[in-house]
Structure 1
Amino acid sequence: MAGVSLALTLALILLLMPGATPAPQVARPAPEPGLDTLVTEFTSALSADQTYRPPKAGERRTAAAGLAALLDRRGPADFQKLGFSVRDGVDPATGRPYTIATNEPGTERAWGMYVIDRSAPPSLVVEVPHPGFDLRTELFGVDLFRQVPGAVLLVAGAHRKADDSHADVAHEENSVFRVVAAALAARGLTQVQLHGFHDQNLPSTDVVLSSGATVAGGAARRAADRLAADGFAVCRAWADRCTGLEGGTNVQGKAAAKDDTGFLHVEMSRTVRESPQRRAQVVRALVEADLRTP
């Protein structure tokens, strides 16, 4: 016992001696940012006067090849040619791995952010075509993406009013967003696209559901029933007039009709979008409707 006490005393003296070297501190890696943080930071930089140009035909072909390569785990080379940064990560909120491709910041190649959930085969396409304009729809997108293993999240890279509205990817054929969405629809995946409207445009309605250019299938009807059961006032575009919010000219809906795949156009009032509780209710209803099955 005396020997142990002596050893401890000597060790303490050495530590207290001038010039003694303290034990090295191991730096802990910074925590992985959540997808909500990444998406919010990305969309907060968008504005109507930002620089944007539509991709050329060759660039659109490269984007299609790049998306296929990412989905099939054949590498990011094609997307990187277009200025995208591509990396793998893990969302701390779910513990699920993902691959994320983000456009070159601050340039005219403002072509979007694309996130592939790697925990399951591709299952559902979640689309946010108007970030920074249809406020909070990007948060809906992240919330829904997190609830569906294998989901693919598409977020437009420019404000819809940029470049005299040529950046409106829901209505312009020549965009990387449309190319990516069309490639996913060609693989048989259902698309759900998130939008917002001002309360005064349809005061008696909380949510407008439509199938765009496609025929309303079981998924759309199930979603409407579940939202109504949660107390939402739902306008069903396949049965009612919804004041121009039906999405009939939406180019992603047209691609879905061409490929005979599912497409759900979801318009939410400003009041719904501003409420975290109502946002969670909408997401839950969409998940329970199992949109992966048209």
Structure 2
Amino acid sequence: MNALPAARRALVGLAVGVLACTAACAPEPGGSSDLAATVRDFARTREPDAAYRPPDPGERSGVAGALGLATAGDTGAARSAFAPFGFDYRVGTDAETGRRYGMAVQESSGERAWGLYVIDLDTPPRVVVEVPHPNSDLDTEEVGLALFRARPGAVLAVAGTHRRAANGAGDVAHRVDSMFHALVTGLGLPQVQVHGFDNASLPGTDVVLSTGAGEVTEEAREVADALGGSRVCLAWADRCGNLEGGRNAQGRAAAENGTVFLHVEMNRAVRDDRGRWERVVEALSVL
């Protein structure tokens, strides 16, 4: 694992979050923000030809320290600590849920494309909702945001780069040297990672549910029961093509650390139909 122990110690038990957005869309402390527009705009501007480099160990540790200041509720100090790493930090209120959140946004251009992170500041963190392939697994950011809003205490993490950026170095689901990996695994919380696949990749299947490299858990079975239906492939009970997430880096880390990890794949038809993906969100919110 490339994430430093210091970063892990600083992140475990965090009670604050980070949302990545540009300063233009970030509210002043105490203000309101259209989170949907923020997340949507961020995700849809991740381009495969954009500049990117993974953070070095010192940068991962530095951002972890900034998160520690945010955890303590010191907005001014957190903003100052984030700034050298290209993040802008603010706090605000989600106009839809009325819940307060912390937000940190990576600079809008340049090689430090390290993600967008949001956490509910009104409820202690309970689960991390992950969108590792923005603007590639289309509309997964919509599903991720809906799950964040449906689950008090959720942390939302959206990767800062397209999966094909820098010849594949930007594919955070298969890298342990990203800021995304360091932060989501360092929280030590259950993780739900949202992906998308083409209808033709697994005909007759709408959703694939997997625990990645880990053993099937009670939580996974509860979600499976909530999903129901014959068009759900359960990776621990059947073959689900190449959509089982067994090589997923965050899933492997969760298996090593004994934490819950759910890898959720939805076909294009589900992601195109709000009513259908909202039923997936409802099932996942049992966590």
Structure 1 and Structure 2 fold alike (TM over 0.5): yes
Q: Helix, strand or coil for the counterpart of 2:152?
A: coil
In 2, are the aligned partners of 1:64 and 1:183 still within 8 Å (CA)? no
One-letter amino acid of the structure 2 residue matched with residue 203 of structure 1: P
Q: CA RMSD in A?
A: 1.5
> Structure 1: which 5+ residue stretches go unaligned?
1-28
Task: Identify which of structures 1 and 2 has the higher relative contact order when contacts are C-alpha pairs closer than 8 Å and 6+ apart.
Answer: 2
Q: Are residue 138 (structure 1) and residue 141 (structure 2) matched?
A: yes
Question: What's the counterpart of residue 244 of structure 2?
Answer: 246
Q: Per-residue displacement from partner, 1:77-125 (whole Å, max 9, x unpaired)?
A: 4332211001001011100000011101111101001101011111110
| Partner Cα distance (1:179, 1:68) in 2 | 14
Q: Are residue 235 (structure 1) and residue 233 (structure 2) matched?
A: yes
Q: Per-residue displacement from partner, 1:243-285 (whole Å, max 9, x unpaired)?
A: 0111111111112112211000000000001111111111111
In 1, are the aligned partners of 2:192 and 2:264 still within 8 Å (CA)? yes
Return the offset for 1:160.
Answer: 0.5
Question: What's the counterpart of residue 181 of structure 2?
Answer: 178
Question: What's the counterpart of residue 253 of structure 2?
Answer: 255
| Partner Cα distance (2:56, 2:165) in 1 | 17
One-letter amino acid of the structure 1 residue matched with residue 92 of structure 2: G
| Partner Cα distance (2:32, 2:230) in 1 | 36
Q: What is the correspondence of 1:148-227 to structure 2 with a 5 Å cutoff?
A: 148-185=151-188, 189-227=189-227
In 2, are the aligned partners of 1:71 and 1:116 still within 8 Å (CA)? no
In 1, are the aligned partners of 2:137 and 2:196 still within 8 Å (CA)? yes
| Partner Cα distance (2:73, 2:32) in 1 | 22
Q: Are residue 268 (structure 1) and residue 271 (structure 2) matched?
A: no
Return the offset for 1:72.
Answer: 4.1
Q: Are residue 119 (structure 1) and residue 122 (structure 2) matched?
A: yes
Q: Helix, strand or coil for the counterpart of 1:170?
A: helix
> Structure 2: which 5+ residue stretches go unaligned?
1-27
In 2, are the aligned partners of 1:113 and 1:154 still within 8 Å (CA)? yes
Equivalenced residue count is 255
Q: Matched residues, percent identical? A: 49
| Partner Cα distance (2:248, 2:81) in 1 | 27
Q: Helix, strand or coil for the counterpart of 1:125?
A: strand
Q: Are residue 64 (structure 1) and residue 67 (structure 2) matched?
A: no
Moved more, 133-142 or 64-73: 64-73
Distance 1:83 1:191, change over 3 A: same
Return the offset for 1:71.
Answer: 3.4
Distance 1:266 1:121, change over 3 A: same
| Partner Cα distance (1:65, 1:211) in 2 | 30
One-letter amino acid of the structure 1 residue matched with residue 83 of structure 2: Q
Q: Helix, strand or coil for the counterpart of 1:100?
A: strand
Over alpha carbons, which structure has the higher Rg?
Answer: 1
Q: Are residue 108 (structure 1) and residue 111 (structure 2) matched?
A: yes
| Partner Cα distance (2:178, 2:67) in 1 | 13
Question: What's the counterpart of residue 89 of structure 2?
Answer: 86
Q: Helix, strand or coil for the counterpart of 2:118?
A: strand
One-letter amino acid of the structure 2 residue matched with residue 148 of structure 1: R
| Partner Cα distance (2:69, 2:214) in 1 | 28
| Partner Cα distance (1:71, 1:232) in 2 | 43
In 1, are the aligned partners of 2:33 and 2:92 still within 8 Å (CA)? no
| Partner Cα distance (2:221, 2:40) in 1 | 31
TM-score normalized by the length of structure 1: 0.83
In 2, are the aligned partners of 1:208 and 1:237 still within 8 Å (CA)? yes
TM-score normalized by the length of structure 2: 0.85
Return the offset for 1:239.
Answer: 1.1
Q: Are residue 51 (structure 1) and residue 84 (structure 2) matched?
A: no
| Partner Cα distance (1:232, 1:144) in 2 | 23
